[in-house]
Amino acid sequence: MSREELNIEQLYQDAFKNYKPERNDLSWFDIDSKVARVNFFKFSLTSFNIYYAALVVTTFTLASFLTVNQITGNSEKIPSSPDKELFLPVVNPSADDNLQVFENESVVSEDETSDNLTGKEKLSKEQSAEKSPGIESSTGKNKIPAIRKIDSSLLNSPEISIVHEDLAPDSTIILKEDDVIVRDTILRFEKSSRSKRKKR
Amino acid sequence: MISEEILIRECKKHNRIAQKELYETYTPVMFGICIRYAVNDAEAKDIMQEGFIKIFSHIKQFKGKGTFEGWMKRIMINTAITHYHKTRKSRTNRNIDEVDATSIHEETQQQNEISDGIDRTDIDEKNINFDIVEQAGLNVNDLLSALNTIPEAFKLVFNLYCIEGYKHKDISEMLRIDEKTSRTRLSRARNLLQKKIYELSIKKVGK
C-alpha cells in the first residue's frame, strides 16, 4: 500500500457514511422540557401556547375591569354608606321652568312660620330672605319650606318626589345649582301642603 | 411504525407524540454526525439536542424538496458550526493559523511517547509503511479518536469536505474564512490524520 493508496478521505467516508451509534443515554426526556418550551411559543390549535395564554389573560383582565366598573357604578347609584347624602329629584312636570335649587339655609314656609313669629323676627326673616333667595311664589308672598342638608339617618322612608299637586297654586320653586334636596324637608313640605288643602 | 410523511405533518402541528417518534427514529444518525464535530460525547449530545429543537421549530420550512433526513443533517451541521463559533473564543485553543505542521508533529510525538512508551522518532512522513494501517483494521472509534487529536478548525474543514462533500467555496462561507484557508486547513488535517492513523495502526499491530 503506497502513500497515495492510503486515502484518508475514503477511509473516513466508508466508516462514517452510515454510522449510527446506538446509545441508551439519548432519551427523549432529555429534550422534552426544551421542546415543550419551544412548542409553547408556537401557535397551534391543538395545544396550549402563548397565544392562548395571552387570550386568557386578556379576557380575565377585561372581565375584572368590567366587574369592578360595574360594582363602582352601582355603588354610585345606591349609597352603600349611611353617611352619604341623598340627592332627590324634584319633579314638577308642568312647572319645570319654575324649579331652581336653593343654595343654603332654611327658608320656612310663610304659613308655617310667619304666624308664630314676632314682628321683629318677621322683619329679620324677611330681610334675610331678601339677601338669600328662597323659594318664593310667583307673587312673592308664598314661601316654600327650606331645602337643606339633613342627617342621613332620616332617610329611611321610600323615595318621594314632589308632584305638581303638592305645590301651592302659582308657586315658583327657585332652586339653585349644587343644592341638596333632602327628604325631611320634602316630607315637611308635603305635610304642610296636605294640611293646607284640608283647610281649604 | 408511522410513515415519515405523517410524522412530518404531525410535527408541523407541534404534536408531542410525533416529535418524540421523530426524535427516536433519527437520534442514532444525528448523533453520528454530531460526534464527528464535537470534542466529546457530552458536547455531541448538546449539539444534537440544540439541533432537534431547531428542527422542531423550523419544520414548517421543510417543503419536501430533497430528503427529510438530508434537511435534518444540514440543520445538525449548521448547529455544530454555530456551536463551534460560540465555544471557540471560550476555549483555550491555540490560534490555529500560527500552528505549523512541525510543531504539531513534535507535540504529537511527545504525547505518544508519554502515553504508550513506543519510540516514534524513526517515523518519517515519506517512509510510512501503509501495510500496517491495512493490517490494523481500524474501527470507527479509532478513527474518531484520531480525528479528535487534530485542531478543531482542521477537523471542521475535514468533516465538511471529506465526509459531507461540501466544496471549499461553501465551506469558506459557512466558516467565514477564505477559500485558501479552507484548502490549507484541509491539507494540514490530512497530514496530521495520516500520521495519527499510522501511529494507531503500529500500536494495534504491535499488540
* B116 confidence band (pLDDT: 50, 70, 90): very low
Q: B42: how many CB neighbours lie within 10 A of its CB?
A: 9
* B206 confidence band (pLDDT: 50, 70, 90): confident
* Range name among A119-123, A152-156, A167-171, B154-158 with the lowest pLDDT average: A152-156
Q: Tell whether the torsion through CA atoms of A57, A61, A63 and A64 is positive or negative.
A: positive
Q: Does B17 touch chain A (CB under 8 A)?
A: no
For A129-149, how does the pLDDT look when each residue is reduced to its tens digit (9 = 90+)? 555 444 444 444 444 444 444
Contacts of B105 by beta carbon, 8 Å cutoff, 6+ apart: B195
A39–B56 C-beta distance less than 8 A: yes
Average pLDDT of every residue of chain A: 65
B36–A16 C-beta distance less than 8 A: yes
A136 forms beta bridges with A143
Residue B131: the pLDDT is 75
Q: Which residue has the higher pLDDT, A73 or B173?
A: B173
Chain B residues close to A19, C-beta within 8 Å: 32, 140
Q: Does B187 touch chain A (CB under 8 A)?
A: no
pLDDT for residue B166 is more than 80: yes
For B135-157, how does the pLDDT look when each residue is reduced to its tens digit (9 = 90+)? 778 888 889 999 999 999 999 99
Residue B121: the pLDDT is 45
Query: What is the arithmetic mean of pLDDT over B157-170?
Result: 93
Query: According to DSSP H, which parts of chain B are helical?
Result: 4-12, 16-37, 41-58, 68-90, 101-116, 130-136, 140-147, 152-158, 168-175, 179-206
Domain extents for chain A? 8-77, 96-199
* B23 confidence band (pLDDT: 50, 70, 90): very high
Q: What percent of chain B has pLDDT over 90?
A: 48
Q: Which of B35, B147, B162, B200 to mutate to test the interface with A (most CBs of A within 10 A)?
A: B162
Whether the Cβ atoms of residue B31 and residue A24 lie closer than 8 Å to each other: no
pLDDT for residue A38 is more than 70: yes
Please give the ipTM for the structure prediction: 0.76
Chain A residues close to B31, C-beta within 8 Å: 20-21, 23, 26
For chain B, domains (ranges, CATH) are 4-90 (1.10.1740.10), 101-206 (1.10.10.10)
Q: Does B45 touch chain A (CB under 8 A)?
A: yes
One-letter amino acid for residue B26 of the chain = Y
For B78-109, how does the pLDDT look when each residue is reduced to its tens digit (9 = 90+)? 999 999 988 877 664 554 554 554 454 445 54
Please state, in angstroms and rounded to a whole number, the distance separating the CA atoms of residues A60 and A24: 46
A137 forms beta bridges with A171
Phi, psi of B122 (to 5 degrees): -85, -5
A47–B14 C-beta distance less than 8 A: yes
Chain A residues close to B27, C-beta within 8 Å: 23, 26
Q: What percent of chain A has pLDDT over 70?
A: 42
Q: Which three cell numbers stand for residue B193?
A: 490524520
* B168 confidence band (pLDDT: 50, 70, 90): very high
Q: Which of A16, A17, A18, A52 to mutate to test the interface with B (most CBs of B within 10 A)?
A: A16
pLDDT for residue B9 is more than 70: yes
* B126 confidence band (pLDDT: 50, 70, 90): low
> Which residue on chain A is closest to B44 by alpha carbon?
A26
Q: H or E segment at B83?
A: helix B68-90
Size of interface A-B (CB pairs under 8 A): 96
Q: H or E segment at A72?
A: helix A50-77
Residue B136: the pLDDT is 78
Alpha-carbon distance B88 to nearest alpha carbon in chain A (angstroms):
24
B14–A44 C-beta distance less than 8 A: yes
Q: Which three cell numbers stand for residue A80?
A: 352603600
Average pLDDT of every residue of chain B: 82
Q: What is the DSSP-derived secondary structure letter of residue A191?
A: H
pLDDT for residue A186 is more than 80: no
